[in-house]
Amino acid sequence: SCGINAEYGEDSLDEMVQTQQITAAAKQQVLLQFDKAMSYSLAQRARNKVNFKGKIKTYRYCDNVWTFLMTNTEFRDSTEGFHADKVKIVACEGNKQDKT
């Protein structure tokens, strides 16, 4: 799938599945809803360019989907920045929107 899952959130969900607080199916539903909400919000609200720099631990390209696992990553836009210890970026081809 072409998701935007935040890795730390997925770790928490894994722990909840292991302690039987939620089912594996419920975990997948949470991740799916998160992906949908983030995709919608980014499409509607994101207008700034963001640059990031970090150490790539692993990367993969499969079925037109890029996955990058990064550590010690710094994100910056035109006004501010923040640091993340672990980042998972999943990118897939989106539909081009006609701007005419």
Amino acid at the residue 28 = Q
**10 Å Cβ neighbour count for 87?**
19
pLDDT tens per residue, range 40-93:
877 777 777 888 999 999 999 988 889 999 999 999 888 888 899 999 998 887
Q: How far is CA 52 from CA 43, 63, 72, in A?
A: 19, 25, 10
> Would you say residue 6 has pLDDT above 60?
no
> Would you say residue 34 has pLDDT above 70?
yes
